[in-house]
């Protein structure tokens, strides 16, 4: 087979992206579990794990750059490498949002939240399932599937404004809780941003599949 090592490098970078995507998805779910259940000891592992995700994302970017520089990829290979690199950058950001939520949890004094978290965990479910669908669409080279995912971002936006309004109402009744309420609002905002990043990933997937640069 011609260019055997190039082929295996392409396969390896694809496998690496999938693993990092799975790690990122877990980081998001885990950060919200930590926040919801007020797990004060588990945040530091997640924060450390973020370093690993960063490093692996950078490694993916480096491989993509090196293959581009040395192998002159064109057509499908070129689109694959560019979209992989850009998706890795989005994953890194998504993992940062998860880290942000774990950090926020650490700054809220131990004990139950000002109110039980219902919609924030829902947001995490929507955001992670969007991410999982996106990665599947990437794997299957399915632009139609990738084009359907951004619509689900609307759900995240709705949940976010709901969380925000509730926290606002709560603060008006209990002004002393403003600090904690704002922290929860930040957490919800982070999840809302995860959705935006997944939408960016979908744009890259469509480029990978069709060569078309779209903007959702």
Partner 1 sequence: MSETRMCTSEYSLSYGDFKALNSITIDIPTNRITAIIGPSGCGKSTFLRSFNRMNELIPCVSTEGSVMLDGEDIFEKDVVELRKKVGMVFQRPNPFPKSIFDNVAYGPRIHGIRERTRLAAIVESSLKAAALWGEVRDNLGKSGLALSGGQQQRLCIARALAVEPEVILMDEPASALDPVATLKIEELMEQLKKDYTIVIVTHNMQQAARVSDLTAFMLTDENRAGNLIEFGPTRDIFTTPGDKRTEDYISGRFG
Which residues of the chain form contacts with partner 1 (CB under 8 A)? 2-3, 6, 72-79, 210-211
Residues near 40 by Cβ (< 8 Å), separated by ≥ 6?
105, 106, 110
Residue linked to tokens 């399915």? 142
Is 69 or 109 the residue whose CB approaches partner 1 more closely?
A: 69
Distances (CA, A) of 24 to 32, 80, 87, 121, 146: 13, 20, 12, 16, 19
Is 108 or 214 the residue whose CB approaches partner 1 more closely?
A: 214
Closest distance to partner 1 from the beta carbon of 77 (Å): 5
Q: In the structure encoding, which two tokens stand for residue 76, read together?
A: 């499908």
Closest distance to partner 1 from the beta carbon of 92 (Å): 26
Is 51 or 76 the residue whose CB approaches partner 1 more closely?
A: 76
Which among 213, 189, 198 has a CA at the least distance from the CA of 150?
198
Closest distance to partner 1 from the beta carbon of 134 (Å): 21
Closest distance to partner 1 from the beta carbon of 10 (Å): 10
């Amino acid at each position: 087979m011609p260019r055997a090592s190039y082929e295996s490098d392409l396969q390896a970078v694809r496998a690496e992206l999938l693993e990092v995507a799975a790690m990122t998805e877990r980081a998001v779910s885990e950060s919200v579990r930590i926040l919801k259940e007020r797990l004060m000891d588990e945040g530091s592992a997640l924060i450390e794990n973020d370093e690993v995700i960063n490093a692996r994302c950078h490694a993916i970017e480096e491989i993509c750059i090196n293959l581009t520089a040395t192998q002159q990829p064109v057509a499908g290979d070129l689109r694959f490498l560019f979209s992989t690199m850009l998706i890795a950058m989005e994953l890194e950001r998504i993992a940062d949002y998860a880290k942000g939520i774990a950090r926020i949890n650490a700054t809220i004094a131990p004990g139950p939240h000002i109110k039980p978290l219902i919609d924030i965990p829902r947001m995490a479910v929507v955001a992670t399932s969007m991410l999982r669908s996106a990665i599947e669409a990437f794997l299957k080279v399915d632009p139609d599937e990738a084009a359907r995912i951004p619509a689900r971002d609307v759900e995240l936006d709705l949940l976010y404004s709901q969380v925000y309004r509730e926290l606002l109402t709560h603060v008006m009744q209990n002004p002393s809780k403003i600090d904690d309420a704002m922290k929860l609002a930040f957490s919800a905002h982070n999840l809302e941003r995860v959705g935006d990043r997944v939408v960016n990933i979908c744009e890259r997937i469509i480029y990978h599949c069709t060569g078309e640069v779209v903007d959702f």
